Amino acid sequence: MSAAAPAPVTRRDARTPLVLVLVAIGWVTVASGAAQVLAPGFVLSLLGATDDATTRQLFATVGMFMVVVGGLLLTTLSRPRHDPDVVLWAAVQKAGAAVAVTVGVARGVLDPLALAVAAFDLVTALLLALHLRGLRGAR
């Protein structure tokens, strides 16, 4: 656990173009996670994945975690001080998702179209890392 308080970010600084992009990504994460929870079979079909009861249940569970991570990211980005720990773990989640989806495509479990999702998650992880670097540099 970090003993240092999050670096202060003024309201003016809190709405940089990077932060606005991250807010949009947070909403996309919440919305896509909710879609996975509410209609896992539909989303699985878009990704070219097997659609059975077990897969739908596991995919909906992953969607619930996406809602949580996206919501947590939105919460910290809406505050005057962005918690670097939240930004770090959101970046880790996005990087992990990019790897997991890429592995799914490589194994033939997901359609190659799912690589667009992996690319989105990888770019998001990099943007979050960039924001984290800025937060740590402001200390």
pLDDT in tens, 1-26: 455 555 554 444 568 999 999 999 99
11: exposed, middle or buried (Cβ count in 10 Å: 0-12, 13-18, 19+) = exposed
In whole angstroms, give the CA distance from residue 5 to residue 139: 9
Q: pLDDT confidence of 137, banded at 50, 70, 90? A: confident
Write down the domain spans for the chain. 14-137
Q: Three-state SS across 39-74?
A: CHHHHHHHCCCCCCHHHHHHHHHHHHHHHHHHHHHH
- What's the pLDDT tens digit per position in 94-126? 999 999 999 999 999 999 999 999 999 999 999
User: How large is the average pLDDT for residues 73-84?
Assistant: 96
pLDDT, position 138: 74
- What's the pLDDT tens digit per position in 15-60? 899 999 999 999 999 999 999 999 999 999 998 898 999 999 999 9
pTM, to two decimals: 0.85
pLDDT, position 15: 84
Q: Is 33 helix (H, G, I), strand (E, B) or coil?
A: helix
Q: At what angle do helices 115-137 and 84-106 cross, to 10 degrees?
A: 160
